[in-house]
Structure formats: C-alpha cells, structure tokens
Structure 1
Amino acid sequence: MNFRSTRSSECVSPSFALLHGLAQDGGLYVPESFPENVLDYKQLAGKTYQEIVAVVLSHFFTNFSDEERKQMIASAYNEETFRDEQIVPLHSMDTDLSISELFHGRTLAFKDLALSLFPYLLTAAKKQEKEDRNILILTATSGDTGKAALEGFKNVPGTNIMVFYPSEGVSPMQKQQMQKQEGNNVKVSAIYGNFDDAQSFLKRVFTNKAVNEYADKKGVLFSSANSINVGRLFPQVAYYVSTYVSLVDTGCINEGEAFDVVVPTGNFGNILAGYFAKKMGIPIGQLICASNKNNVLSDFFETGIYDMKRPFYTTSSPSMDILLSSNFERFLFYVSGENAGKVAQWEKELQTTGRMAVTTESLKILRKDFAGGWINDAETRAVINHVYNDYGYLLDPHTAVAYGVYLNRHKQGMGSSRHTVIMSTAHPYKFPPVICEALALKTAADPFDMLTDIGAVTGIALPKPLADLQNKPVRFSDAIPKEEMKQAVLSFVDSISQKS
C-alpha cells in the first residue's frame, strides 16, 4: 500500500509518509487505493483490542511484517499504558444509547489511542528509510494532542518534540499536564494566539524550503504528531471497529446491523477515522459531527459551505476551538471523487478567501453519511448536570457537546431508530472548572482543589496520572507572540544539533 497526496499525483511509501507527515505539495497523504469493505464481524469476533488494531493496520502499513506490527502494538497497548484491560470499554446508557470510552490511556484523552502507537511506527519508518537525522516532531495542540504526543515521545532516542498551545485556550489541567512534562527531548511553549494560528504556522514550516534547509544542515528532519500524519490517523480507525464488535457482543445490535455515531470533533480527525471504518465495512449508519460555538463544521453539513470568516470563540470545550480543520482536506478528497485537482482548488480558495463550497449534488451525497449539530457553553453545562443527575455518569465537556447534539436531534425529530454511540473523548477530571460550574460547586484557582470537591460529591477517584501530576514542578512556563514561533523552532533545532 502506497500513499498519495490529496493535491497531486505525488505517491510515496508508507514509511516515507509516516516520517514526513505532510506531502511535499502541502497536501495530506491518503491510501493510493482505499481498502473498502474488507472488515466484517465474523473475522473480528473474539479478538482483543490489540488484535483488532493489527487487522486494521495490516491494510495500511504493509511495509511492516505481521510480526513487526504485532510487537509495536503490544508495546503500545498494555497495562502500563492503559488503565482498562479492554482499552476501549463500552458503557451502556439505555437500550438506544451507548458511550464508547476512549480516555483510559496515560493522559486521559482519546489521543492516547493513536499516540501510544505512533512513536513505534515512526521509529520503525525511520529505520526503513535509513534516516540518520534527528527527528523533530512539531505539534500544535488545542489541549489533548500536546500532552499525549509529549508522553508518547518523551526520551525516544533520535527523536525530539516541540509543542505549541494557545496560552488562554486550554483547560487549567491540560496546561499543567504540558507545563510539567518530563523528558530530556521535549519542549513546550504557549503562544499568544489560538490553535489555528499554531497549526497554520506549522504547516508553513513543513513546506518552507529555507527553514527545512537550515534544519537539514543541523542534522534535523521535521515531522508531525498531529492527525495530518497517517501514523496518527489510521490507528484511530481501530476504536470504531472495536466499538462495533462490543455492540454486537453485548447485544446492543445484531451482527451487520447499522448504528449511528456522534463525534465531538474540531480538527476532523476523530470523525474521519469513523468514516474510514465505515468504508472498510463497519456498518455505521450516520456520522454526526458535534460542534461547540465554533461551528464551522456543523454549518458545512447544513449548507455545503465551509466559511472560516467568522468570530473565533474560546469555549468550555477547548479541544474543539478550531476553525481550520486539517483533516477536512482528506474528506474533501473523497467528496470530490478522489479528484486531487479539485481539492487543490478548494484549498487555494480557503487560503485566499477563507471560504469554499461543494455543489448541491455533492452535499446531498455526503449527507447520506454525515450530519452536524452544535450547542453552546450553557447547554454543555446543562447536559453535564442532566446526565449526572439522571444516570450518575459524569461527562467531560466535549462528550457533553456530543450528547447535547444527540438530544437536540431527537427533540427535533431528526434522530434515527438506530442504536447510537457517543464517542467520549476525555476524562471529565481534565476540565475541573466546567464540571464544578455544571454541578453547582465552587470554582477555585487551584484545579486540584476543585477535583477534591468534585470527588467528594461524585465518589470518582482522582486518576493516577493526575494524582502524580500534582506535586511535579513546572518546567515550561514561557509564552511567546505567535510571530516568534519560527525563531523558537530554529532555536530548538540549534539545541538539538548541539546535543548530537
């Protein structure tokens, strides 16, 4: 299986795509020939999560042997990296609704499910490509990717990682997770700007000839841990496959029966993985894109117009505070009928005007697979309160957005009769101020004081990754203007070169 660019005929090996992240023309890598309808329940029944990952990845990373993939997967998914032996347990809310819990990894967010494996894929790809330069992972984060990437890559030989996050755009706990990160090869910096500023800058770095030549002279190669990298994206397909198997095994649906999925998403990688699972044969009915007030994606599924020319909001679900969704380009590639020229045209329109639109006919086609909806912060808090008081189940704000969209669709008569799964993206304790407000508890300056109060009310124990964090020292407290990001990267390149 080779990978091609969404914008041209450029085609590369899996190891090259893993190593470089972004295509040379600025596009994203997708499979040269997508493996459609290759999965069914009979071949998946009885398999562990690790075995399901192996089946999924065998269709994409054919450059590795079965044994190599098996070893990498075993290293990524075990009792040291995930607190639940099922990896992705399914929680049943009622006969019509389940929650797929994606937050049992080291950093308590769904990003762990890919970023526990990605460092092994990247290291193996580096060996295959005979690449002897130091790898510098450059990552922008709206909250969860940064910590998961830092944890995955800390102290990995021959690899360094630098993470940028918006100084006022993450939760207090997410900020502590990054500021207190351990490892001798990591660097973290806040920026005075938003996630889109950080992500757009990094995309320009990957295609900036002068910056890349400077890094090359210093023995450094840039790569990415964002979901623009195929090594981040395709492992995410596995948890949709695993969720389907669990639904059948627990009697929620029958073998082959369709189910809907509600996904809180900002950068579109999470829901795109669900779309890919459907293309591979998993009987997903509709993928429902749940947004907060930054509702550029849900608006697109309503109108067919992607319009970034709108106010940017800092919300209580910060990981979705995004207006430029990177993985949306991959989706457009398939909407266009795999027309790279059309995708290049759309992306140029987005870059120059901040707006692009699909035809009415294309909108009708994509609505067979997708729908959208959004709720605001007040509604998010109300959903957290409602679900906790009625079911005794505590949602994080992103999952609450998905739950709220699900409720609204049913109130409006837009829901289907199919069983629905909400993909729960993070542990609620990562967002103590929002949870306190939702449960009518006092907020405090110290997030751990808030978690103590939440725990006293709910009886939910403080997860060990957060308990361990409490007494660690802050290592990275600096914040820089977004205009200084380039110099920050070059300075880190210099420090890597000096250590080599």
Structure 2
Amino acid sequence: MRYVSTRGNLEKSYSAAEAIREGMVPGGGLFVPESFPKFTLDEINSLKKLNYQEVSIEVLKKYLSDYTEEEIKECVEGAYSDINFSHKERTPVVKVEDEVYVMELWHGPTAAFKDMALQLMPRLFVKAREKTNAVDDTLILVATSGDTGKAALEGFKNLKGIKVVVFYPEEGVSQVQKLQMITTEGDNLTVSALKGNFDDCQTGVKDIFSDEEFNSILKGLELSSANSINLGRLLPQVIYYFKAYAQMLRDNEITLGEKVDFCVPTGNFGNILAGYYAMEMGLPVGKLICASNKNNVLTDFLQSGTYDKKRDFHKTMSPSMDILVSSNLERFLYHTLGDADKVSKIYERFNRDGVFSIEKQELENIQNIMESGYTDEDMCIDTIKNVFENDNYIMDTHTSVAMNVALRKKTERKVVVLSTASIYKFPSSVLRSFGKQGETEFKEIEMLNEITGVELHSAVKGIDKLPVLHKNCIEKDGMKEFLENLIKK
C-alpha cells in the first residue's frame, strides 16, 4: 500500500512508514491511501472469533504493507495489553435499549478514546524511524482540545530519539484534562497552555509545519505530529469499527451482512473518518451520523454544502468537540470528490477566505454516506439524565451529544453510538444533569461515583495530589518563539 497527498503536491507516493514518520505532507496536505483494501463478508465473519489484538493485526496488515506481520503483532500486543486496558474487549459494545448500542472507547490509560490510537501510534512511529533510517531526533508537536494531549504524552514518554511538545487552550479543557497533562512525568515531554482556543493551537502547529524558514533552525530535529493529521493516528481508529461489528455478530445482535449505523461525536473529523474507511473496506455500514455540539460547523456543511468557520466560537460542556476547523474533513473530501486539484483549490480558498462550498451533486453524494445533527447544551444535559433514568446507562457529555442525535435520527437499522470518554473526565457537566454541584471538580467526582455507582477510572485517581511539572502559558502567536527557546536549552 502506498500513500499520496490530498492536494496532489508530491512527486512520488510514500510507504506507510515514510508517511507516519513525516506526519503531514511537506507543503500542505494530508497523506491518504492510494486505494482502500477490502474485506469480504467471510473475512468479516471470521473476526468474531478474534480478540482486539488479533482484529487489529488483520486490519493493519492491509495498510502497513511495509511492516512485517511480526512487527505489527509486536506493536499491537504492546499497545492493547491488559496493563493498558481494563476491559477484556478493549472497546466493549453495550446494548442500551432496543436497536441502540454504545461502543465504549475509554477503557485505556487516560480514560478517553484517543488511547485506542495513541497507545499504538508511538510503537508504529518508532518502527517507522527504524525502517526509514532516521538519524535526527523527532520533535512531535501536538495541538489538543484536551484528550489527545494526555494520550500522546503517555504514549511517547521516555522514548529514545523523540521529544514531545503539547499545546492546549488555557480555558478550553476540564480541570481533570488539564491536571492529567501538566502532571505527566517524562524527560522528553513539554506541555504549554495557549491563550486562545483549540483552533489557535491547531493553526499554530500547521503554520510551523509549513514554515520552511522556521524549520531550517531546527538543527538536528525533524518535525512530526501525533494529531489525527498523522496517518499513524488515523489507521488504528479503523480497527474498532470492525471489532464492534464482530462483537455484535458474535453476540447474535446482528446477522452477517446486516447494515449498522454508527453515530460519532465529532470535532476534528478523524473518528468518523475512520468509520468511512471501514465502510469503504467492506464493513456493512448503513450511514455514518456526524454529531456536533453547539459549534455545529460540520452539521451546517453536511446539510448545506458550505463550510464557514467565520462564526462565534462556543465553549461548551463537550470541550473536545469545540472546534471550527476540522482537519480530517480534507481527507474525506479527497476521497468523495476524487480530485486532488479541486481539494487543493478548496483549501487555498478556505485559508484565504475562511469559507468554501461544494457543488450540489457532490453534496448529495456525501449525504448518501453521512447524515448529521447537533445537540445544544440543554439537550445534552437532558439526554444524560433521561438515558440514566430510563436505561440505567450513564455517559459523558460528548457521548450524550451523539446519543441525542442518534435517538432523533433513529432508522430501521441498529445504531452504535461511539462513547469517547469516561464520565469522570467531565464530572462537573455530568453532575449538572442531576442538578448538583460540588465545591471542586474532585469533590464532584466523588459525588458522581455515589450517584451512578460506576467504578472510578484509574486515570483520575489521585491526580489532584500529583506535583505540577509543566507551568508554561504563552500567547497564541508565541508558539515559534517558545519552541526556539526550548530548542536552545
């Protein structure tokens, strides 16, 4: 399998290892597979007998053709071990009510779905450096809306030849998310708050990647990313769609070939894009449902064909979705429009004007694949409370956004809602559903535990007692200067 650029600006295709090591296409654009590998129904049926690690190998070997199966197995078994994940299924599918299921993606070390990719990606990255004979150290830049940062820090800490810098919005993450990041130990890790929002963090990282003059001062360092712009972050996310379908087959919840809808709380578009990849690979998916919070830029685009980031930015109780520029949409447009030159022109226009539109027929083609909807703050709160009271299932705010949209768009098909975080990552907001408030976020964790009876996740136990190791806070236009000073140390 070879990889090309969404903007057609590469002279040659890349191997998987080259693309993972590079992170982002030099000069702009994202790496995408030249074609989609396929699974037959018989192959999908055989997955029901496999555990998560074994399913991972079957999916990844179709994309990582320059990795040996033994290398993939080594990476997978290290990533998805019993030490890292508390549930034997890794991503269990739980039936909530008739025709409605939840896939829990938060049983890893940081209590968020990012663990599913960021326990594996660093291992793939280290192998990629070996395969491509890397000499210089790698500087991993991460922009986070809360969850990616901690997951990346955990995945890459203390790895030889790799340094990690994480930027997060100062007022745009929960207290639990912030403490998870700023208390992380590791000789190769740096964390900094940014006086801005997630889009400022993400735009700053992208600007650094494309700034040739700045890159020239990074002596002995090459840049890469752990965000979902990196192929190594995206491909592992495809796995759990196959695992969910296989588990439902195994448990006789569906029959082979029966189509299932997946409803995904969506911000940067990587999680739902992985579902599209699974769909293109032959997984029987009816519709992908893109669920947005009050920052409903994606809902508007998927319904109108116009993407306009020039709108008010809302800080919501689902902060990991507080995003106005969804990076992975570029990959989806490349695949659905089938024209790299058109994608390049779209993003030239978008970078200049902050808005772009696609043609009516192009939108209709996309709508055959993907539906959309959004959930406001009151609906989010009500859904948490109602589902807990009616179905005895408790969920975090991001999952609630998707659950609300899924229940409103219910079809004749079964729907799986992707649950992206433990309730204990956002205790204040979840507790509001019950009309309660604590003195501190950690008191609220205790209160939430008493109300729901859900076992405390290991990721939140005692983090308020850990020493703060990262105290940086910079202006949103100060990222390059911060990195220069860091490199000089």
TM above 0.5, yes or no, is yes
Q: What is the identity, as a one-letter code, of the residue corresponding to 2:45? A: K
| Contact 2:235 2:274 (C-alpha < 8 Å) held by counterparts | yes
Q: Percent identity?
A: 42
* 1:52 paired to 2:55: yes
**1:67 shift after superposition:** 0.6
The residue type paired with residue 318 of structure 2 is: S
Query: Superposed, which structure 2 residues align to 1:304-343 within 5 Å?
Result: 304-337=305-338, 339-343=339-343
**Partner residue of 1:389?**
389
Q: Does the 8 Å contact 1:78/1:85 carry over to 2?
A: no
1:210 shift after superposition: 1.4
Distance 1:156 1:330 in 2: 29
Deviates more, 1:128-137 or 1:470-479: 470-479
Deviations along 1:360-417, one digit per CA (max 9) or x if unpaired, are 11111111110100011111111111111112211100000001112222xxxxx310
**Amino acid in structure 2 at the alignment position of 1:275:** Y
Measured against aligned partners, the alpha-carbon deviations of 1:114-164 in whole angstroms (never above 9, x if no partner) come to 000011100010011111111111000001000100110111111111000
Which of 198, 209, 214 aligns to 2:217? It is 214
Q: Which residue identity does 2:213 align to in structure 1?
A: A
Question: Match of 2:97?
Answer: 94
Letter in 1 for 2:428: P
SS of 1:465's partner is coil
Question: Residue deviations 1:281-338, cap 9 Å, x none?
Answer: 110100000000110111111111111111111100000000000000000101212x
| 2:429 aligned with 1:428 | no
1:38 CA displacement: 5.1
Match of 1:178 in 2: 181
Please report how far the alpha carbon of residue 33 of structure 1 lies from its aligned counterpart in structure 2 after TM superposition.
Answer: 2.2
Q: How does 1:189-228 map to 2 (within 5 A)?
A: 189-215=192-218, 217=219, 219-228=220-229
Farther-moved stretch of structure 1 (6-15 vs 305-314) = 6-15
| Alignment pair present for 1:488 and 2:489 | no
Aligned partners of 1:325, 1:493: CA distance in 2, in Å?
Answer: 30
Kept after mapping to 2: 8 A contact 1:37/1:279: no
Q: Name the SS for the 2:382 alignment partner.
A: helix
Taking the aligned partners of 2:9 and 2:185, their CA distance within structure 1 comes to 41
The one-letter amino acid paired with 1:453 is M
Looking at structure 2, the residues matched to 15 and 41 of structure 1 have their Cα atoms a distance apart, in angstroms, of 26
Q: Output the CA distance in 1 between the equivalents of 2:455 and 2:101.
A: 23
Residue number in structure 2 paired with 1:474: 468
Moved more, 455-464 or 50-59: 455-464
Aligned equivalents of 2:225, 2:40: Cα separation in 1: 29
Q: Does 1:348 align with 2:348?
A: yes
Alpha-carbon contact 1:154-1:183 (below 8 Å) kept? yes
CA RMSD of aligned residues (A): 1.1
SS of corresponding position for 1:314: coil
**1:37 Cα offset (Å):** 4.5
Instruction: Indicate if the aligned counterparts of 2:438 and 2:447 stay in contact, CA closer than 8 A.
Output: no
How far apart are residue 220 of structure 1 and its match?
A: 0.9
Compute the TM-score of the two structures, normalised by the length of structure 2: 0.97
Using the TM superposition, give the Cα deviation of residue 9 of structure 1 relative to its aligned residue in structure 2, in angstroms: 5.0
State the partner residue of 2:124: 121
1:13 — aligned with what?
Answer: 15
Q: Amino acid of the residue matched to residue 288 of structure 2?
A: L
Measure the CA separation in 2 of the matches of 1:42 and 1:483: 51
* Structure 2 partner of 1:498: none
Cα distance between partner residues in 1 of 2:124 and 2:407: 39
User: Which segment is superposed worse, 459-468 or 49-58?
Assistant: 459-468
* 1:141-190 superposed Cα distances (whole Å, 9 cap, x missing partner): 00100010011011111111100000111111111111111111111001
TM-score (norm 1): 0.95
* Runs of 5+ consecutive residues of structure 2 not aligned to the other structure: none
Report the counterpart of residue 457 of structure 1 in structure 2: 451
The aligned length equals: 486
How far apart, CA to CA, are the structure 2 residues paired with 1:385 and 1:172?
Answer: 22
- Point out where structure 1 has 5 or more consecutive residues left out of the alignment: 410-414, 496-500
